[in-house]
Chains A and B, each alone.
Chain A
Amino acid sequence: MALFVLAGMLVFLVPRDELLKDAPDKRTWRDIRWWGVALAVTQIGIYLIFT
C-alpha cells in the first residue's frame, strides 16, 4: 500500500514541462503524472479489497 502512496506522490517530482515538451498540445489530460496518480489510487483500492 505504501509503495503505491509513494508512487502517487513521487510522480510530481517529474516536471510537467518536461513531459509535455513535444506533446501535440498542452491540455490537462495529457499530463501523464495524473494518469500515474489514477493508477496508484486504483491499485490501493484493489489491495484494500483483497488484503
Chain B
Amino acid sequence: MVHPLDLTVIVAYLALIVWVGLRVSRRVHDAQDYFLAGRSLTWFVIGLSIIGTNVSAEGYVGASGNAYKVGIAQANFEWIGAIPAMILASLVFIPVYWRAGVYSIPEYMGLRYNAAVRVLLAVIASVFAVFAIAVGLWALALTLETYLGWPTWAGILVTGAIVGAYSVTGGLAAVAYTDAVQVLVMFAGGVAIVALGITETNGFSGFATALSAENPDHLHAFLPADHPEFPWPGVLLGLSIVLSPAYWCAGQTILQRSLGARSQWDASASMMFAAFAKTFVPLLIVFPGLLALVMHADIAYPDMALPWVVKNILPPGLSGIMFVAIIAALQSTVDSALNSTSLLITRDIRGVLLPHTDRTRDLIIGRRVAVVLLVTAMLFAPAIANLGGIYVFIQTLLSLFQGPTLALLVLGAFTRHATPAAGLVTLVTGVAVSGTLTLLDTNMLFVAFWSFAYALVCLLVVSFFTPRLEPALLDRLVYRRVTG
C-alpha cells in the first residue's frame, strides 16, 4: 500500500509536468518552434534537459546494479566516458552544426557527404527509437505496477497519454522544460539517498572503510585488463575515444536541444553545464548500488539494489520523490526520443525521399508522426517482454554504426579531404567490419575502436580517388578557427 504522502508527491509531480508542458506548447507556431523550440532555449534549461535525456531508466536501475557488482568502475561511463567528449562537443562540434544551420546531425552528414548517408543514419536511429520508446513505456508500466499496483495496460495508457499530451503538442520546448523539472527531481531524490545512506553508515569514512574492507576493488575506477566487462584498455580506447564521442558529438536526441538554443554561446555553454551535472550523476545512479552492498542488502540479483535502497532507506515522502525520480528518468528518455524521431522521419527521411513536398506542412506532419510513433510504441510495449532478443539485436545494430559514423564526423568536420562517395563506402564497409568483429565475439568496446580505426583509414584512402564537395560548401561545413 502506498503511503498517502508518497501518493501526494506522485500526483503533484504528474500535474506539474503536464502543466509545464501544456503551458510551453502555446508557443508552437511552425516547424522550427516544434523541432528546435524556435531557437529560444537557454543554456541552463538545455543542460538539465541533456542530462534528463541521458539518464534513462535502464541506466538508472542498471547502473546501480552494475555498481553493486563491479563498484565505482561503473562511474567511468559518467566520467572518462563522457566528460572529454562533452567538452569536445561543446567547443568544436556544436559550433560546426550551428554554422551549418542544420536541424539534425543526419542533415549535417547529408550536406557533408550525401543524401544516402543522411537517410541511412536517420532510418537506423528511427528504428532503434521506436524500440527505445516501447521499452521506456513498458518499464514505466512495470514501475507503476510494482509501486502502485496498476495493471500494465493502464500504466502504458496513462503514461503514454501524459507524455503525449506535452511532447506531441509542445515539441522540443515542452520536452526541454519538463526534462529540466524532471532532472531537478532526480537530483533531489539522489541527494536524499546519499545523505540518509551516509548517515546510516557512520559518515563517508565509515562508508568507504566498510565498502573496501569486504570489496577491495569496488573503490578502484580501473579494473584489470582481463576483466570480462570493463577491461581498462577497452574503457580507454573503446569508451572514451569512440563510443562516448559518437554519443555526445553525433547523438541526435542529445544534441537536438543544443541546436534549439537562442545563441551559439548558449548551445556550447549548455553542453559544458551538462558536463558539470554529469560529474555528479554517479551520486544518483552508482552510489545506491554501493550503499546496498555496504548495508548487506538481501537481494536476489544486482538490479534490485536501487529498489532495495528506496524501500529500506527512505522515509515516506522521500520515497515518493525517489519513485517520481525513476518515473522522471523514464519520461524524459521517452519524450526526447519521440521528438527527435519525429524530426528525423519528417525532415531527414520524408524530406529527402519526397523532395517536392510542401515544407510548410512539416509542423503538421511532425505532430502526426509523433502520434503514430507513440501509438505504435504503446501497442508494441506489452510485447517487449517477449521481444527482448530483438531489442538486443537492434541495440547491437545501432552500436555497429558508432565507430564508422564517428570517423565520418571527425574527418568530415575537421578536414576538407573527405569526399561524399568515400563517406558512403566507409559507412557501409565499416558497419560490415563491426558486424564481423561482433560475430567473432570481440568485446563491444574493442569492436567500436577497431571499426573506427578501419573507417578512418578507408575514408582517407577512398577520398584520394573520388571528387570533393565545392569549396564554398566546405567553408560552411568544416571546422575553422574564426578570429577577430
Contact = CB atoms under 8 A, between A and B. Distances in A.
A3 B240 contact: yes
A43 to B, nearest CB: 6
B83 A43 contact: yes
Given A21-B264, A22-B265, A30-B269, A4 B84 contact: yes
B79 A47 contact: yes
B219 A33 contact: no
A1 B13 CA distance: 41
Nearest to A21: B264
Contact of B222 (A15, A43, A51): A51
A33 B91 contact: yes
Interface string B396-430: 00000000000000000000000000000000000
A30 B79 contact: no
A19 B91 contact: yes
A50 B272 contact: no
Contacts of A18: 95, 481-483
Given A3-B84, A43-B83, A14 B481 contact: yes
B283 to A, nearest CB: 12
Interface size class of B (residues with CB under 8 A): 20 to 34
Nearest to B270: A32
A42 B220 contact: no
Contacts, number: 87
Contacts of B221: 46-47, 50-51
B87 to A, nearest CB: 5
Interface string A1-24: 001100100010111011111111
A13 B32 CA distance: 33
Contacts of A3: 80, 84, 236, 240
Contacts of B265: 19-24, 30, 32
A43 B221 CA distance: 12
A17 B279 contact: no
Contacts of A38: 276
B484 interface: yes
A40 B275 CA distance: 10
Contact of B279 (A14, A23, A24, A43): A43
Interface in B56-86: 72, 75, 79-80, 83-84
A9 to B, nearest CB: 11
Contact of A39 (B72, B222, B240, B279): B279
B483 A51 contact: no
B272 A43 contact: no
Contacts of A33: 91
B222 A23 contact: no
A51 B236 CA distance: 14
Interface string B249-282: 0000000000000011100110011011001000
Nearest to A4: B84
B92 interface: yes
Interface string B162-194: 000000000000000000000000000000000
Interface in B428-465: none
Given A15-B482, A18-B483, A32 B272 contact: yes
A30 to B, nearest CB: 7
B79 A46 contact: yes
A43 B263 contact: no
A43 B80 contact: yes
Interface of B: 72, 75, 79-80, 83-84, 87-88, 90-92, 95, 219-222, 236, 240, 263-265, 268-269, 272-273, 275-276, 279, 481-484
16 contacts: A3-B80, A4-B83, A7-B88, A14-B92, A15-B481, A15-B483, A17-B483, A18-B482, A19-B95, A21-B265, A32-B91, A32-B265, A35-B275, A38-B276, A50-B72, A50-B220
